[in-house]
Structures are given as C-alpha cells and as structure tokens.
Structure 1
C-alpha cells in the first residue's frame, strides 16, 4: 500500500508502516503484530479475529518499539470496516502527547513531509478547520 496519491481525496496521508497495536472494546481484547497503514485519522490493522463489529467503539494502544518498552500512542476509535485481512479503525479522540507522537510517526514515515504539515495546518486536531 502506498501513500495517498493524486487521485485520492483523503483528508490525511496514509503511511505504510508495520507497528503492534492492541484494541479493547466491550471486554474483548485484540492484538495485532502489525498495521498495514496509519494516518492522522485512523489505521488499518491486520488480524484474522473479527471479534468486533463495524461501529464498535474501542480503546487502542499503538506500540512504537514493542510492547515492553518504547512509546505508546493511546487513542479512542471506532471500527469503520472489516475485511478478510483485518479492520479499519477511525480515531475519535487522542491526548496531546499521543497526538504529537502520532504526528511525528506519520511525518517521518511519509514521502512528502510538506504535504503532511499542510494537512495539519488545514485541521484542528482530527477535524477539518471550518
């Protein structure tokens, strides 16, 4: 999967990156050893276990550098879609420190850092400026 292309009208650039993620929702916990891509708006995680349904609200932790040590990005989200390969989850809430880590993750793994910075200027947090 590549970054957002010219014909793609997504609000935020997706970067292909593999990181560990844990999703908790309704007493269920799903762990994936890798994401397919991450953006400032959400992620797609590879998993075979579809214990959650579309629309499920969840708490997530993205582990940068592994589960035992390293940086943790904590976000709240909602399952947007399910595929045989995994789940697409939209971020709905993120704290300031996690937001900064997520921004840096996307920025430093993007092929076009200027575009990522412009996307950030065009938005207030996770929502487009009005």
Structure 2
C-alpha cells in the first residue's frame, strides 16, 4: 500500500486500498440503485470507486465498504455524496458515519500508510 502524492491538496491521507464496495443511491427517476464495484483508494473523508458508471455529481449515497481478513468480515456503512468523475470512475466524499465506523476507518488508514515521515 502507498500514500498518495504529497503534492495532493487533500487534507487527509489517502491509501491505495482495493476492496469490494457497494453504493446505494436514487437515480434521476427516484428509483433505488445499487452499484457493486471496487475501491481504488480510501481516506477518512472519501473513497474512489473504480467503475464505468457516472452518477450525477452531488448525488447523495450510502457506501458499504467490505473488510475481510480478521476474525469476522466487516461492512462499514457511510453516508456520502458523489463529488468528482474521472475516466476510471468517481469519487465519493464521506458526509457522516457512526463512531465505530470512524474508528475502523481511521485504524485502516493508519495501518496502511507506509514510509510516511
């Protein structure tokens, strides 16, 4: 795992972290949509989703981040919104999460940062 470019203007460290995620949101007609994909990177403030889908910017969503490898598999549930698109996918900014999810996410980020000074 590696930390993103230090020239990046983001306030929180991002780590390259690929895991299964799902995004729940409403489409333009108000129908529930579930998108299954993988993450590219992750921070305490957001996630980049690798996919060909491009939901509308500012669309509210619920993100499920699946963690495995421990005693039990874990799914983090986070409220967010779509904030950017690229050719590789889209970025979600996290809006709210419970304290337990925040703690797991913070530990995950700290554990995966290598070589930071």
Q: TM-score, normalised by structure 1?
A: 0.77
Runs of 4 or more consecutive aligned structure 1 residues displaced over 2 Å after TM superposition:
4-9
- Structure 1 residues 55-66: aligned runs within 5 Å: 55-65=58-68
Query: Is the Cα–Cα contact under 8 Å of residues 2 and 114 in structure 2 kept in the other structure?
Result: no
Query: Is the Cα–Cα contact under 8 Å of residues 2 and 113 in structure 2 kept in the other structure?
Result: no
Structure 2 unmatched ranges of 5 or more: 27-31
Structure 1's 107 and 85: CA in aligned 2 closer, same or farther, altered over 3 A? same
Bigger proportion of residues as helix: 1
Structure 1 unmatched ranges of 5 or more: 116-130
Query: Is the Cα–Cα contact under 8 Å of residues 2 and 112 in structure 2 kept in the other structure?
Result: no
Query: Is the Cα–Cα contact under 8 Å of residues 4 and 10 in structure 1 kept in the other structure?
Result: no
Relative contact order, CA 8 A, sep 6+: which one is greater?
2
Count of matched residue pairs: 110
Give the counterpart of 2:43 among 39, 57, 62.
39
Q: CA deviation at 1:83?
A: 1.8
Bigger proportion of residues as strand: 2
d(CA) in 2 for partners of 1:39, 1:11: 10
d(CA) in 2 for partners of 1:43, 1:49: 15
Query: Is the Cα–Cα contact under 8 Å of residues 4 and 16 in structure 2 kept in the other structure?
Result: no
Give the counterpart of 1:111 among 106, 110, 114.
114
